[in-house]
Amino acid sequence: MFERKIAIIGCGAIGSILAKSIDEGNAGNTELRVLFDLQRKRAEELAGEISTSSRVADEIEDVLDDDEVDLVVEAASQEAVSEYSVDVLRSGKDLIILSIGAFSDQKLLSEVREAAEDSGQFVYLPSGAILGVDGIQAAEIAGFEEAVLTTRKSPETLSKTKFVRENDIDLSGLTEPRVVFEGPASEAVEAFPESVNVAATLSLAGSGFQDTRVKIVADPSLDQNVHEIKVRGEAGEFTTKAMNFPSPENPKTSYIAALSAIRTLRNLTGPIWIGA
């Protein structure tokens, strides 16, 4: 099997799960070489929690200049995607991006695509917190008539969002589900940056940010996030529903998002790739 030598940018919840999975041999034929975080102490603490001898980078150039690293995993932020992606690709390394919401910026998406094409490198976007991305991509070839993402969260969670506060939406005492936003993904990613990765993944896999509809619902019966996707087109009608449990490392992160990154590494280093 093909071995990949990994650098991780971002040592928070997902980066930590991924690093420990690589260290335990659960992320395919991979070797963790470098950890980088703007908060160096966080990278140092993570390095101390794993048995593999991994170098802590002082700056991003330490990652770019490491000729042994051939795959970089971004697990930091949308800002990190914007700042580092093009340089990573131009340094001759493939790139896994987890903060997919950064690509709601079409200019950035074009720049990253161009850098990948020019350098001959690849960019991988794991499916993250939603299900059925392979089917969505396949169905999109025949064309969509409708693509809708409905995200349901507790009123308590949504009441803390900037959109709800700025629009004076009162979710206190809610006894039944209430729609707090409905519109194209292009508007949803600005209104609800907390859900931008999910909306961006569906938009990129399907018919784009303008033609993908997003509905955000406050549901008092929930204590976890629910993402439901409905796609209708020439290939048929498909519905997926994910009720995600929080990460054991950070309750604000869906566990499945970290597991999706681990599966991507397994796919990249294994002899058989299942799915579209």
Based on the fold, state whether residues 22 and 103 are members of the same structural domain.
yes
pLDDT tens, position by position, 155-178? 998 998 989 999 999 999 999 999
The band of 10, judged by pLDDT with boundaries at 50, 70 and 90, is: very high
My answer on whether 103 and 141 are in the same domain is no
| pLDDT of 276 strictly over 70 | no
Binding positions for NAD(+) are 129, 197
The answer to whether residue 248 scores a pLDDT higher than 90 is no
Residue reference for tokens 């695509």:
113
Binding residues are 129, 197
Catalytic residue among 152, 213, 227, 263: 227
Q: Are residues 170 and 265 in the same domain?
A: no
- pLDDT of 251 reads 65
- Whole-number pLDDT of residue 129: 85
Residue 106 forms part of a structural domain: yes
Structural Rg of the chain based on CA atoms: 19
Q: What is the amino acid identity at position 119? A: S
Residue-level pLDDT at 105: 92
Number of separate domains in the chain: 2
46 is catalytic: no
In a domain, residue 250? The reply is no
Using the predicted structure, report yes or no on whether residue 2 has a pLDDT greater than 90.
Answer: no
Residues 141 and 189 in one domain: yes
Average pLDDT value over all residues in the chain: 92
Residue 152: predicted pLDDT: 94
219 in a structural domain: yes
pLDDT at 252: 66
Same domain, residue pair 169 and 85: no
With respect to residue 19, please indicate whether it lies within any of the assigned structural domains.
yes
CATH of the domain at 29: 3.40.50.720
Distances (CA, A) of 76 to 52, 67, 68, 155, 189: 21, 22, 22, 27, 18
Say whether both 93 and 144 belong to one domain. no
User: Is the pLDDT assigned to residue 192 strictly greater than 90?
Assistant: no
**Has this prediction a pTM greater than 0.85?**
yes
Q: What is the pLDDT of residue 1?
A: 55
Q: Is 161 exposed, middle or buried (0-12, 13-18, 19+ CB in 10 A)?
A: buried
What 8-state DSSP symbol labels residue 247?
P
Whether residue 274 is contained in a domain is answered as no
Are 111 and 59 members of one domain?
yes
Note down the domain range covering 139: 133-244
Could you tell me if residue 249 is inside a domain? Answer: no
Candidates 213, 229, 227; CA nearest to 139 is 229
Same domain, 41 and 79: yes
Q: Quick check: is 28 in a domain? A: yes
CB atoms < 10 A from the CB of 28, how many? 21
Identify whether residues 70 and 178 lie together within a single domain: no
- Residue 50: pLDDT above 80? yes
Asked whether the predicted pLDDT for residue 22 surpasses 90, the reply is yes
Per-residue pLDDT, averaged over 168-190, amounts to: 93
For position 245, what pLDDT does the model report?
A: 82
Instruction: Indicate whether 153 and 69 sit together in one domain.
Output: no
Which CATH number does the domain housing residue 155 bear? 3.30.360.10
Q: Are residues 143 and 29 in the same domain?
A: no
pLDDT at 247: 75
Task: Please check the confidence at residue 73 and state whether its pLDDT lies above 60.
Answer: yes
* 73: in domain: yes
C-alpha separations of 158 from 153, 205, 213, 221, 245 in Å: 7, 26, 19, 13, 17
Q: Are residues 151 and 115 in the same domain?
A: no
